[in-house]
């Protein structure tokens, strides 16, 4: 084959390749007279930029790096808009899981009215993906609370706190609870569809005023101001003294009997004094025991029956008060007890 023929074949191959790539981008690369002359028309700088971006995008897309391919497709689309870059942008967004953006990109591709013969498969696939993706999109629910200006509005969805009044809900049934300061909480059950947009109006009512609980009385550390009735302590003390008097009187009574027995065996002045002295102390002790016993009993009975303090005072004043009067001469001694009321 001659050199001229080889150059002609090479130019024809190059022309076909550029035509195919330009067709994918929707470009017109050469006028008819250039093709007739067997050589491609030179591309404009803008066309070269679009072709380079599209080539880079295709390389990344084939390698599965959709995040890297996306900006190259977007650059090609911005440089020279075309059906193919639009579709590839939608595919990248779809594969990256950016559902809202993918649906919008597929719709842009369909609405651009691409060639139905050349892009029949892509148009059909775009329609299917839009339907499938929209079925997974959450519903957008805007909660509108009345009365306007309610303070401290809080919203829960299915028992979980939500941020703001713009809710993103999966398709299905949900319970929305709304509360605010000074208002009765209110629950609404709603059923939403995928990708649905709707408002939810919630009217709150004022809560009834909560009565302020009366605080319990503060205990008085000094016991002042409390009417707990008369104390039994004076009665117990008085009865205790009476018991001590009984014990003391019993002890000296025994000693008096012992001294009297000694006097009977040996009648001396000393034994007589011991007997009289012990007998005197025993008598006084029993007298004190009797007096305080009666007084303690009166106080205790008065407290138990709820008597007034004046009655207890009167009973105490009426109690027996012993008065010991010594008597005797130089050879003996003795005492007499007198009770006053």
Sign of the dihedral through C-alpha 16, 17, 23, 24: positive
Pair of tokens at residue 289: 């025991």
At residue 1, the pLDDT reads 44
Pair of tokens at residue 132: 């499938």
The DSSP annotation for 7-76 comes to HHHHHHHHHHHHHHHHHHHT-----HHHHHTTSPPPPPHHHHHHHHHHHHHHHHHHTT-HHHHHHHHHHH
**Cβ atoms of 253 and 282 closer than 8 Å:** yes
At residue 185, the pLDDT reads 92
What Cα–Cα distance (Å) separates residue 183 from each residue in 154, 180, 213? 11, 5, 20
Residue 248 CB: number of other CB atoms within 10 A?
A: 17
Phi, psi of 42 (to 5 degrees): -65, 140
Pair of tokens at residue 20: 């195919």
3-state secondary structure of 234: helix
At residue 54, the pLDDT reads 95
Model confidence, pTM: 0.47
Q: Decide which of 3.40.720.10, 3.40.718.10, 3.40.640.10, 2.60.40.1120 is the CATH code for 139-203.
A: 2.60.40.1120
- Which residues lie closer than 8 Å to 105 by C-beta, 6 or more apart? 86, 89, 90, 93, 94
3-state SS of 120-131 is: HHHHHHHHHHHH
d(CA 139, CA 6): 64
At residue 244, the pLDDT reads 79
Phi, psi of 310 (to 5 degrees): -60, -35
10-residue stretch averages of pLDDT, the chain, 341 residues long: 49 49 50 52 88 94 95 95 95 94 95 94 94 90 89 91 89 91 90 88 85 70 56 76 77 76 77 76 76 75 62 47 50 49 46
3-state secondary structure of 193: coil
At residue 220, the pLDDT reads 60
Alpha helices in the chain (DSSP H): 3-25, 32-36, 45-62, 66-79, 83-95, 99-111, 120-134, 233-265, 269-304, 309-317
Query: 3-134: which CATH topology?
Result: 1.25.40
What Cα–Cα distance (Å) separates residue 5 from each residue in 10, 21, 33, 38, 317? 9, 25, 20, 12, 154
């Amino acid at each position: 084959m001659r050199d001229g023929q080889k150059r002609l074949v090479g130019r024809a191959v190059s022309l076909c390749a550029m035509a195919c790539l330009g067709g994918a981008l929707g470009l017109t690369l050469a006028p008819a007279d250039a093709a007739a002359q067997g050589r491609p028309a030179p591309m404009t700088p803008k066309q070269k930029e679009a072709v380079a971006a599209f080539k880079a995008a295709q390389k990344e897309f084939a390698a599965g790096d959709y995040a890297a391919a996306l900006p190259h497709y977007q650059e090609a689309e911005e440089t020279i808009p075309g059906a193919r870059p639009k579709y590839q942008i939608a595919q990248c967004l779809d594969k990256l899981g950016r559902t809202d953006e993918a649906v919008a990109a597929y719709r842009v591709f369909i609405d651009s009215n691409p060639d139905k013969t050349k892009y029949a498969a892509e148009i059909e696939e775009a329609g299917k993906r839009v339907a499938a993706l929209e079925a997974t999109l959450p519903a957008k629910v805007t909660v509108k609370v009345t009365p306007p200006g309610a303070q401290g509005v809080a919203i829960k969805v299915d028992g979980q706190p939500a941020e703001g009044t713009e809710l993103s809900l999966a398709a299905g049934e949900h319970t929305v609870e709304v509360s605010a300061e000074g208002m009765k909480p209110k629950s609404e059950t709603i059923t939403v569809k995928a990708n649905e947009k709707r408002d939810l109006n919630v009217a709150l009512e004022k809560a009834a005023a909560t009565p302020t609980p009366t605080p319990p009385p503060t205990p008085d550390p000094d016991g002042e101001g409390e009417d707990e009735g008369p104390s039994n302590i004076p009665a117990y003390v008085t009865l205790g003294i009476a018991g001590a008097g009984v014990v003391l009187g019993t002890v000296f009574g025994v000693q008096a009997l012992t001294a009297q027995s000694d006097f009977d065996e040996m009648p001396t002045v000393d034994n007589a004094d011991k007997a009289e002295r012990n007998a005197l102390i025993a008598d006084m002790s029993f007298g004190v025991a009797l007096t305080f016993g009666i007084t303690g009993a009166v106080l205790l009975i008065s407290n138990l029956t709820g008597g007034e303090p004046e009655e207890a005072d009167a009973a105490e004043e009426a109690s027996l008060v012993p008065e010991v009067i010594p008597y005797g001469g130089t050879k003996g001694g003795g005492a007499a007890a007198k009770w006053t009321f």
